[in-house]
Structure 1
Amino acid sequence: MNSQSSLSFIFLAIISAICMGTIGVLAKFAVFPAEHITFYRLFLGAICLLLYMLSTEKKSQILHKPSKRTITNGIMLASFMVCYIQAMSYTSMANAVMLIYLAPLLCAVIAHFIFSEKLTIFNLFTIALALIGFAMMMQFSLSIPGSKNESLGILYGVLSLFSYSAFMLINRKPSNSTPYQSTLVQLLSGALCMLPFLILSPETPSITQSFWLLAIGIIPGFIAILCAVKALRNLPSVTFGTVAYIEPVAVVCFAWWLFDETLNFMQLIGCCLIIGAGIVQGILSQKRVVG
């Protein structure tokens, strides 16, 4: 791969990270229940991906028998998304996204016991660094003054963390499905998980809400995932993983710009520690694979 091609795929990874980061903003503007937002993100994302595959040479990949693991991934994807959106309803966008980005470090710990991937002293150091960063983000308290529902927001954030970690761990094993097939099945199975919630508590969106829900399906649902698939096929995992840390930075910027959610100096340092620890963990994991 020449440098120009590499830069184009890095650009796609950046677009994916920024688009992923828009879900919090769009969800706040939509003012709709988290399970409904998750359904529209997954379902409309699947429809867009299906149309894309039909219009390209990928249409032959649409009809296939999905594996149980891919369907399970879809369930984890839906769980992660709905808990993440719920977390942002009770705590700040920065707190919610930083919890999610503890997932690579949690996966490293779980993989130590499940996949016999030994933790080195450097791995333990990055995990400790991220935990210190998280404690600083929370200002060393799970109940920030002035926010009665902060603890509930953190609980949803932790649930999204575990769901996302399970999603990552399940995806560790190679699959016979192509990235497009896996993505399509995961989006559809995740949407089906959310469908009962829509049936039990139906709500008709207004014209304005419909616009925001459509944007959710297209931007963080379709564009973000398609760009990620294309980038992952052509970039080393450490490069993509490092670029992905643009998402929490984007979320913090969106929160500050649009909703006046500010971070004090301690919380900014905590953000930097979590992001830095995640990047170092990715580099260490890549070196272990190469070695």
Structure 2
Amino acid sequence: MTRDNSHPIIPVLAILGAILLWGSSFAAMKHLLASMNPWAIMWMRVGFATLILTPFMPRLTRPVKKGDRLALAVMALFMPCLYFLFESYALTYTTATQAGLISASLPLMVSVGAGFFFKEKTTSSGWTGLLLSMLGVAALTLSGSPSTNASDPALGNMLELIAMACASGYMLLVKRLSASYGPWTLTAIQNAAGCIFFIPGLYLLIRDGLGTAPFEVLMTAGYLGVFVTLGAFVLYNSGISRLPAGKASAFINLVPAVAAFFGWFLLGETLNFIQLLASAVIFAGVGLAQYGEKLDWKSFPIIKSTLCAANHKN
């Protein structure tokens, strides 16, 4: 099997699948956080994923090259370890609205990093699409009802920015390492590192238990671990190995829109007109970043008439 022969829509669908799973995780996490410590939830997520993956690791994974050990360790440190750590603490100091605005900087960070490290060229349509999607995320978060519980917004916003830097570093490292390792190998390393990093959650789980509805907690945590933590990372790692890092990262701005949908569908949260419009802007921006350079803009009636009028004047 060669990557060059794969259909170009396959990596796009893989990343969209990851975004769908990541977006759904917010509603599931919100449900569990009502009765459990976040460290315990995170350990259960990576624990379930590792438990499912371990029996298949000899067949699905490949040996790690000695020269890649540092890069793989840094990748796992960035995601899931430091990313979840900084974002969790960021949300204790700042509002979700401000953190959401800062998270919109992720695609731009990855695009700049991809240009610097991989010499990837971002077209004008790509930059326009990224900007459009970032504006959509900003409108989506600002149009909601933000929490006023922000004891130190400056510190919280800085921690969220560091979390985004960790996420961008992870994406860039996955882009480089995917040339030598498959998505299952990269995902197995991430989950193993997460089990060690979030080990305090095991103590909290033993101390506090599973609450009054243990079966429901196990089912929800199992979904987060098997489908979100394991499945989403496999899909994303597979997709980003076949797409430019800058383009792949543009899909991340779809997460707030997907999360808002599941919040409405599963938790009864409502979307106002501005939020629905902002979600449409986000989808339009991602589409423009992906396919804008392939469109024949001169064929569009408005642009075509404008160009004809300009040529007639000249």
TM superposition score normalised by structure 2: 0.66
CA contact (8 A) 2:130 2:250 kept: no
Picking from 160, 164, 168, the partner of 1:161 is 164
Structure 2 gap ranges (5+): 296-314
1:165-203 CA deviation, whole Å, 9 max, x = no partner? Answer: 121122232443333222211221233222256558974
Instruction: Give the deviation of 1:231 after TM superposition.
Output: 5.7
Which one scores higher on RCO, CA 8 angstroms, separation ≥ 6? 1
1:28-58 CA deviation, whole Å, 9 max, x = no partner? Answer: 222223333222222321221222335xx43
Identity of aligned residues (%): 17
Instruction: Give the deviation of 1:22 after TM superposition.
Output: 2.5
**Which whole-Å CA distance do the structure 1 matches of 2:202 and 2:52 have between them?**
21
Which sits farther off after the overlay, 255-264 or 152-161? 152-161
Which sits farther off after the overlay, 62-71 or 175-184? 62-71
Match of 2:310 in 1: none
Picking from 273, 281, 296, the partner of 1:273 is 281
Give 1:215's aligned amino acid: Y
Instruction: Give the deviation of 1:251 after TM superposition.
Output: 1.7
**Which whole-Å CA distance do the structure 2 matches of 1:279 and 1:102 have between them?**
18
Match of 1:147 in 2: 147
**Which whole-Å CA distance do the structure 2 matches of 1:280 and 1:199 have between them?**
47
Match of 1:257 in 2: 265
**C-alpha distance 254-98 of structure 1, shift in aligned 2 (>3 A):** farther
**Which whole-Å CA distance do the structure 1 matches of 2:294 and 2:106 have between them?**
16
**C-alpha distance 11-171 of structure 1, shift in aligned 2 (>3 A):** closer
Match of 2:29 in 1: 27
Report the aligned-residue RMSD: 4.4
Give 2:280's aligned amino acid: C
Q: How does 1:238-253 map to 2 (within 5 A)?
A: 247-253=255-261
Rg larger in 1 or in 2? 2
Match of 2:77 in 1: 75
CA contact (8 A) 1:76 1:163 kept: yes
**C-alpha distance 236-72 of structure 1, shift in aligned 2 (>3 A):** closer
Which sits farther off after the overlay, 243-252 or 24-33? 243-252
Picking from 125, 137, 144, the partner of 2:128 is 125
**Which whole-Å CA distance do the structure 1 matches of 2:25 and 2:294 have between them?**
29
Is 2:112 aligned against 1:109?
A: yes
Is 2:48 aligned against 1:40?
A: no
1:83-124 CA deviation, whole Å, 9 max, x = no partner? Answer: 5566778866x9877864642232113444555545554344
Give 2:209's aligned amino acid: P
Picking from 41, 54, 65, the partner of 1:50 is 54
Picking from 214, 220, 237, the partner of 1:212 is 220
**Which whole-Å CA distance do the structure 2 matches of 1:201 and 1:53 have between them?**
26
**Which whole-Å CA distance do the structure 2 matches of 1:181 and 1:4 have between them?**
20
Match of 1:17 in 2: 19
1:192-220 CA deviation, whole Å, 9 max, x = no partner? Answer: 22225655897433124344323321221
